[in-house]
Copies of this chain bind each other. A is one copy, B any other.
Amino acid sequence: MNIGDAARLSGLPAKTIRYYEDIGLIRPLRDTNGYRVFRENDLHKLTFLARARSLGFTIEECRTLLELYEDQNRASADVKRLAEDHLVQIDQKLTELMAMRETLSELIEACKGDHRPDCPILKGLSSVTQ
Residues of A whose CB lies within 8 Å of any CB of B are 44, 47-48, 51-52, 54-56, 65, 68-69, 71-77, 79-81, 83-84, 86-87, 90-91, 93-94, 97-98, 100-101, 103-105, 107-108, 111-119, 121-122, 124-126, 129
Contact = CB atoms under 8 A, between A and B. Distances in A.
Given A75-B116, A77-B115, A117-B72, A83 B65 contact: no
Q: Could you tell me the dominant secondary structure of chain A's interface residues?
A: helix
A65 to B, nearest CB: 7
Nearest to A108: B83
A100 B48 contact: no
Given A56-B100, A83-B107, A90-B104, A75 B126 contact: no
Chain B CB within 10 Å, residue with most, of A47, A76, A112 = A76
A20 B114 CA distance: 31
